[in-house]
Amino acid sequence: MHSDIRTEQQKNSDIQQPMNPEEVDPKQREEHKAELQEKGNKLTGNPGDRIDDSMSIEEKAKQVAVDAPDPTGDHIVVPTYFIVEGEDGEKEALHHVKDAEEISDVVRQARMDEDGNRKWW
């Protein structure tokens, strides 16, 4: 399913987000790992969840909140921001926690028809 999402995303967007472990920036992965090892339980949140308003939309698109195996053995990658495009064509970075309700609203608007084409309601 991820490959279908990637293909559709590549067709419709010039901003690419990591969707699997191989696409996560190794530097970002090492920075998160080092901070977790150094500060451990003293952290109040995941290093990838931080909001930095000085970042460009392209930088936000590459920021990963979760890059870890889950209990089933699958390796999960969750972007910190979800990039959405408004009706006016303007792209916006929605934070996966802070903007969760707005992300849900966007997802509810998207539906696929029998041919796999996205239909917006």
Q: Which DSSP state fits 24?
A: S
Higher pLDDT, residue 82 or 42: 82
**pLDDT band with cut points at 50, 70 and 90 for residue 10:** very low
Pairwise pLDDT comparison (57 vs 7), residue with the higher score: 57
Q: What's the domain count of the chain?
A: 1
| Nearest alpha-carbon partner for 29 in 77, 70, 71, 74 | 77
Mean pLDDT of 8-13: 48
Instruction: Enter the tokens of residue 110.
Output: 């998207």
Q: How many CB atoms lie within 10 A of CB 66?
A: 17
Where do runs of H (alpha helix) occur along 1-121?
Answer: 2-12, 26-39, 57-62, 100-109
% residues pLDDT > 70 (the chain): 85
- Which residues span the domain enclosing 80? 2-120
pLDDT of residue 121: 59
From 30-34, 44-48, 115-119, the region with the lowest mean pLDDT? 115-119
Cα angle, residue 95 at apex, residues 68 and 13 outer, rounded to 5°: 90
Chain mean pLDDT for the chain: 81
What is the rounded CA–CA span in Å between residue 16 and residue 61? 7
| 42 close to 55: Cβ distance less than 8 angstroms | no
pLDDT of residue 64: 92
pLDDT at 120 over 70: no
> Which two structure tokens, joined as six digits, stand for 3?
């490959």
- The mean pLDDT value for 5-29 works out to 71
Region 86-107: mean pLDDT is 89
Give the C-alpha distances (Å, rounded to integers) separating 6 from 1, 30, 53, 59, 97: 9, 25, 26, 18, 22
As a whole number, mean pLDDT of residues 39-62 equals 86
- The DSSP H or E segment spanning 83 is strand 81-85
